[in-house]
Amino acid sequence: MTHYEAVILDVDGTIVRGEELLPGATDGLRALEAAGCSRLLFSNNPTRGADHYGEKLAPHGIDVDPGTVLTSATVSAEYLAATHPGEAVYLVGGERLEAILEDAAVELTSDPDAAAVVLGSFDSDFSFGTLWESLRALEGDVPFYGTDPDATIPIDDGEIPGTGAILAAMETVAGREADAILGKPSSIAAAAAMGRLNVDPRNVLVVGDRLNTDIELGNRAGMETALVLTGVTDRADLAAVDPDSEPDHVLESLAAVETLL
């Protein structure tokens, strides 16, 4: 048996890249299951809900209970529904995120002048017009949130710009930073994860490929952390990181998680 009661696993860059299963991912998941670790998948993807990952991983023989999945979209929806009920949210984001917010009874508005809250996220149709409207929505002191800070998103043949790039543009024109990020690595995300797991954070292992989200989430929350080198971070990035932001462990892939159990 291992001293870890639970594991929080990133998905893109840790288990899959695009639609392809990463080498060793299945072996790592089996090792965690054999060790008796509760499993929570946590993706900063702001365009997907919990059901998506069951559908995504099922063809690879990986069973996923939607109740054991969080995304920055679902965390954002839960947070806004709880803290801003009945307030009009102006969204810079895609149709999938819009649907997730509506399913959580978050009130949305397409009128920037009616915005009581602003949420910035990934939007493949982001344009000058979108930026102009977001500037209008951000006038005054309306609460301003981002779903996640990821500047890029990994795809099968490289990367594309992510939420972080769009948030940077919104922050620049508005002359203010977002009040909070709702996905990883925020305390809001950590609280959502611990609400699902219900264990002591000291007995949780966080595994992911991003230093500024996965590893930072665990470091802030007092969890143990393991960086996998199958995603966006390589050893050169690791060598340049501040000591306070280093992971507890570095693994070539998820398969090597067995060495920690």
pLDDT digits (tens, 9 = 90+) for 26-39: 999 999 999 999 99
* 27 labelled catalytic: no
Residue 140, domain member (yes or no): yes
* Residue 147 pLDDT > 90: yes
| Residues 152 and 124 grouped into a single domain | yes
Residue 72, domain member (yes or no): no
* Residue 54 pLDDT > 80: yes
Per-residue pLDDT tens over the stretch 86-138 = 999 999 999 999 999 999 999 999 999 999 999 999 999 999 999 999 999 99
Mean pLDDT of the chain: 95
Q: What percent of the chain has pLDDT over 90?
A: 86
Distance CA 193, CA 8 (A): 8
* 103 labelled catalytic: no
Spacing of C-alpha 104 from chain mean position: 18
Token readout for 251 is 């693994």
Residue range 161-170: average pLDDT? 97
Residue 55, domain member (yes or no): no
What is the reported pLDDT for 96? 97
| Residues 163 and 94 grouped into a single domain | yes
Q: Which residue has the tokens 């993706």?
A: 43
Q: Are 40 and 196 in contact (CB under 8 A)?
A: yes
Exactly one of 12, 148, 150, 209 is catalytic; which is it? 12
Residue 152, domain member (yes or no): yes
Tell me the three state secondary structure of residue 165: helix
| Residues 18 and 29 grouped into a single domain | yes
| Residues 199 and 229 grouped into a single domain | yes
User: Could you say which of 129, 162, 181 is where a domain stops?
Assistant: 181
DSSP-assigned beta bridge partners for residue 154: 159
Per-residue pLDDT tens over the stretch 212-243 = 999 999 999 999 999 999 998 999 999 899 98
| Residues 91 and 173 grouped into a single domain | yes
Distance CA 14, CA 42 (A): 11
Q: What percent of the chain has pLDDT over 70?
A: 100
User: Could you say which of 181, 196, 228 is where a domain stops?
Assistant: 181
What is the reported pLDDT for 120? 98
End-to-end CA distance of the chain: 7
Exactly one of 10, 123, 150, 209 is catalytic; which is it? 10
Token readout for 184 is 């990883």
User: Could you say which of 127, 159, 181 is where a domain stops?
Assistant: 181
DSSP-assigned beta bridge partners for residue 228: 251
| Residues 92 and 23 grouped into a single domain | no
What is the reported pLDDT for 159? 81
| Residues 23 and 110 grouped into a single domain | no
Residue range 163-176: average pLDDT? 98
| Residues 168 and 201 grouped into a single domain | no
Give me the CATH number covering residue 11.
Answer: 3.40.50.1000
What is the reported pLDDT for 169? 98
| Residues 241 and 157 grouped into a single domain | no
Token readout for 166 is 């769009």
| Residues 199 and 163 grouped into a single domain | no
Q: Residues near 86 by Cβ (< 8 Å), separated by ≥ 6?
A: 107
Per-residue pLDDT tens over the stretch 174-223 = 999 999 999 999 999 999 999 999 999 999 999 999 999 999 999 999 99
| Residues 190 and 152 grouped into a single domain | no
| Residues 177 and 221 grouped into a single domain | no
* Residue 1 pLDDT > 60: no
Q: What angle do CA 176, 179, 184 make, to 5 degrees?
A: 125
Residue type for position 76: S
Residue 61, domain member (yes or no): no
**Counting beta carbons within 10 angstroms of the beta carbon of residue 69, is it exposed (0 to 12), middle (13 to 18) or buried (19 or more)?**
buried
What is the reported pLDDT for 153? 81
Q: Are 225 and 215 in contact (CB under 8 A)?
A: yes
Distance CA 115, CA 128 (A): 19
Residue 40 belongs to domain spanning:
6-44+184-260
Distance CA 39, CA 68 (A): 7
What is the reported pLDDT for 77? 98
**Per-residue DSSP letter, 176:** S
Q: Are 10 and 214 in contact (CB under 8 A)?
A: yes
> Which pLDDT band, with edges at 50, 70 and 90, does 18 fall under?
confident
Residue 190, domain member (yes or no): yes
Token readout for 45 is 């993807």
Domain count, the chain: 2
Residue 139, domain member (yes or no): yes
Phi-psi region of 89 (alpha: psi -120 to 50; beta: other; left: phi over 0): beta
